[in-house]
Amino acid sequence: MKAKGIAATILSALLFGFTPVLASKTYDMGSTPETLTFYRNLLVVPILFLILLIRREDFRLSGRTLSCVVLFGVLGRGATTLMLYSAYPYAGIGISTTLHFLYPVFVALLCRIFFKERLGLVKSAVLVMAVCGILFFLEKGQSGALTGIILAVVSGFTYALYMVGLDKTRLKDISPYKNSFYMAIAVAAGMLLYNIPTRKIVFALPPKAFAYTLVIAVCTSLLAVILLQVGIRYLSATTAAIFCLFEPISCSVSGWLFLGEEIRWQKIVGSLLILAAAAILMAVKEPCRPRRKVSAG
């Protein structure tokens, strides 16, 4: 069972890590980060709907639970995807994904600020390590790369908000399929509203770009998520989270192989520091525990 959990978690990480290559290729065909964020959520809605029907799950949500779904779906999951996809053209998929993995650091900070969780010596040292890792990515005269770095770091922060929200609200007690279903609807609707003033969503994609987008949606928002849930079931969340660090490694290798992204020694050192910081934080303890259990909505 442990071997099954490890295999499922690593495969999930590899799927998450490889799909950015397809995302970058769709940009050359006229797609945009906004388009990918919109379709990545919209295309899995009917699939999740069928899964909920087959599992005979109750579709009802309470008003408070629905508000949590919309809040953390749009500001957490949706904003994270949009900013991470936006970072790829500036900083590359390998660097962007590695910087995104600062999210365990932000989780620790959010828990310290809002829930008064003590950091301790180990966590404080890890935060310093992560900041030092970021410094290795900063280079003079590369404003475009700096934009990508900022977007990737902020995507880590919004993902941390999403994780803390899942852990501290009633979202923790509803089915993951039900949660994913309503969050996908919320993000897709939010992107449509965002498109009204920006006009960034490209609805008529070339067939090849749409096929890549469909693969991205199924691989990330469905298969990788389910595999991760299997991994957590057999390994525990903390152990599975450590194996998730295969994602930025997979992303960097894929970017180098298929997109010709350059990997400099400074960025390798920075990546190792960030990934080590994330691994230590994940191994120390669960980042944030709920104060009380709430009823399912």
Of 130-134, 228-232, 238-242, the range with the lowest mean pLDDT is 238-242
**What was the pLDDT predicted at 27?**
95
**What was the pLDDT predicted at 275?**
82
Q: For residue 73, give both structure tokens.
A: 């779906």
**What was the pLDDT predicted at 263?**
73
- Is residue 293's pLDDT more than 50? no
Distance between start and end Cα atoms, the chain:
32
Instruction: Please compute the mean of the pLDDT values over residues 78-105 and round it to a whole number.
Output: 89
Of 60-69, 83-92, 110-119, 189-198, the range with the lowest mean pLDDT is 110-119
Residues 103 and 153: their CA atoms lie apart, in Å, by 8
Residues 194 and 45: their CA atoms lie apart, in Å, by 19
Residues 221 and 77: their CA atoms lie apart, in Å, by 11
Using one digit for the tens of pLDDT, what is the confidence trace for 248-280? 888 888 888 888 887 778 878 888 888 888 778
Using one digit for the tens of pLDDT, what is the confidence trace for 188-234? 999 999 999 999 999 999 999 999 999 999 998 888 877 887 777 77
Residue bearing the bigger pLDDT, 287 or 11: 11
pTM of the model: 0.83
Residues 95 and 277: their CA atoms lie apart, in Å, by 16
Residues 186 and 41: their CA atoms lie apart, in Å, by 9
HEC string of the chain equals: CHHHHHHHHHHHHHHHHHHHHHHHHHHCCCCCHHHHHHHHHHCCHHHHHHHHHHCCCCCCCCHHHHHHHHHHHHHHHHHHHHHHHHHHHHHCHHHHHHHHCCHHHHHHHHHHHHHCCCCHHHHHHHHHHHHHHHHCCCCCCCHHHHHHHHHHHHHHHHHHHHHHHHHHCHHHHCCHHHHHHHHHHHHHHHHHHHHHHHCCCCCCCCHHHHHHHHHHHHHHHHHHHHHHHHHHHHHCHHHHHHHCCHHHHHHHHHHHHHCCCCCCHHHHHHHHHHHHHHHHHHHHCCCCCCCCCCCCC
Q: Is 197 exposed, middle or buried (0-12, 13-18, 19+ CB in 10 A)?
A: exposed
**What was the pLDDT predicted at 221?**
81
Residue bearing the bigger pLDDT, 26 or 95: 26
Of 11-20, 107-116, 153-162, the range with the lowest mean pLDDT is 107-116
What percent of the chain is predicted at pLDDT more than 70? 89
At residue 53 the predicted structure's pLDDT band, cuts being 50, 70 and 90, is very high
**What was the pLDDT predicted at 32?**
96
At residue 285 the predicted structure's pLDDT band, cuts being 50, 70 and 90, is low
Of 90-94, 103-107, 119-123, the range with the lowest mean pLDDT is 119-123
**What was the pLDDT predicted at 154?**
95
- Is residue 141's pLDDT more than 60? no
Between helix 2-27 and helix 225-235 the angle, nearest 10°, is 160
